[in-house]
Amino acid sequence: MPKTSFPTIPSSEITSEEKFINRRDFIQKTSQGLLASSAALILPSAMADSEFNLKHEITSYKDITTYNNFYELGTSKSDPSKNAKWLKPHPWSIEVSGLVNKPGKIDIEDILKIPTEERVYRMRCVERWSMVIPWEGFELNKLLQKFEPKAEAKYVEFKTILDPENLYGQRFPVLQWPYVEGLRMDEAMHPLTLMATGIYGKKLLSQNGAPIRLVIPWKYGFKGIKSIQKIRLLDREPRTSWNKAAPNEYGFYANVNPKVHHPRWRQNKERRIGEFRRRKTLLFNGYQEQVASLYKDMDLKKYF
Ligand SMILES: Nc1nc2c(c(=O)[nH]1)N[C@H]1C(S)=C(S)[C@@H](COP(=O)(O)O)O[C@H]1N2
Ligand SMILES: [Mo]
């Protein structure tokens, strides 16, 4: 994967949204200059273009932190930011169990010692809106490797905190709680799959899944489970919350695919939050170059 797909800026340098945007402008100008010269010969142009476009499209911090899906904090888009205080991200730990040689718990303080980097990803929700988010995080494979996955491990299951006393949304049976998601092992180990701990260089707010959540940019948003407390490695596909709630609407794979429609609406267009005109939705959300090989022998209409 070309290095250019991941602009990395140490989080220590990022202090505010304004400074962030200014530095991005500077990087854009520099890379434009470079592209006009010898670097154009080295960089695959599609990648350079999409990277260039992404930098122009970053969603505002306000939209990213006030337009959310997090049913534990309420079912409307504005609920999670209003009810953010229900979720207490400290103390926190993640328990890793199942098919690993070294099962155990890791405290958030130790998780945060894993070096992070910035990854600007397009995100696409099943509800046909999308954002471009500058995540701060590390590859999930870095965390999983600490627990030494066994060869029989084929899938990973993730669970959100279960706390109906404080998380009022969990008192309503919209979904089976806790929220559960899953990935195939090769998807989990893929370098694009991120454990995010921040946005715009700031710590994750509760509405975005503090203190740590999953981000898989080629899949629909619901795969990106928030506020993770449990990870289990399995030899079978885990049952996931949305798949249990509506199996014909939410498949296990949930790869962004403009040709596979939700039974109640088409999936070939999307509205980028902050924009008016609708955009065409891209296969694998535009990450096909990096991930298509994971699914090369699969019928993606059957395994949606
Ligand atoms: N625990 C939990 N994780 C969740 C959800 C949820 O309701 N609960 N919603 C999902 C959905 S549908 C989307 S689109 C994304 C939204 O993430 P964002 O609010 O950070 O953009 O979170 C996903 N992760
Ligand atoms: Mo979503």
What are the pLDDT digits (tens) for 74-102? Answer: 999 999 999 999 999 999 999 999 999 99
Q: Give me ligand 1 centre to Cα 72, in Å.
A: 10
Among the CATH numbers 3.30.830.10, 3.90.420.10, 3.40.50.170, 3.40.50.1100, which is that of 11-295? 3.90.420.10
Q: Under a CB-based contact definition with an 8 Å cutoff, are residues 150 and 100 in contact?
A: yes
What is the pLDDT confidence band of residue 20, given thresholds at 50, 70 and 90?
low
What are the pLDDT digits (tens) for 222-270? Answer: 999 999 999 999 999 999 999 999 999 999 999 999 999 999 999 999 9
What is the pLDDT confidence band of residue 112, given thresholds at 50, 70 and 90?
very high
Q: How far apart are CA 229 and CA 263, in angstroms?
A: 32
Q: How far apart are CA 52 and CA 199, in angstroms?
A: 19
Q: How far apart are CA 23 and CA 216, in angstroms?
A: 26
Q: Give me ligand 1 centre to Cα 69, in Å.
A: 5
Q: How far apart are CA 242 and CA 49, in angstroms?
A: 35
Task: Taking each helix axis as running N to C, give the angle between helix 17-36 and helix 45-56, from 0 to 180 degrees, rounded to the nearest 10.
Answer: 150
Q: Are strands 129-139 and 269-272 parallel, antiparallel or unpaired?
A: parallel
Closest-CA residue, ligand 1 atom 11, reads: 222
What are the pLDDT digits (tens) for 22-71? Answer: 555 444 444 444 333 333 344 444 455 666 778 778 999 999 999 999 99
Q: How many CA atoms lie within 13 A of 53 on its CB side?
A: 10
- Residue at 120: amino acid letter: V
- Residue at 175: amino acid letter: L
Residue 249 vs residues 9, 65, 180, 215: alpha-carbon distances, Å = 38, 27, 16, 21
Residue 165 vs residues 91, 99, 152, 216, 240: alpha-carbon distances, Å = 17, 31, 37, 30, 23
Closest-CA residue, ligand 1 atom 21, reads: 68
The pTM (predicted TM-score) of the whole model is 0.86
Q: Measured at the alpha carbon of residue 48, what is the angle toward residues 45 and 49, in degrees to the nearest 5?
A: 85
- For the chain, which residues make up each domain, given as ranges? 11-295
Mean pLDDT of the chain: 88
Closest-CA residue, ligand 1 atom 14, reads: 221
- Is the CB–ligand 1 distance for residue 67 below 6 Å? no
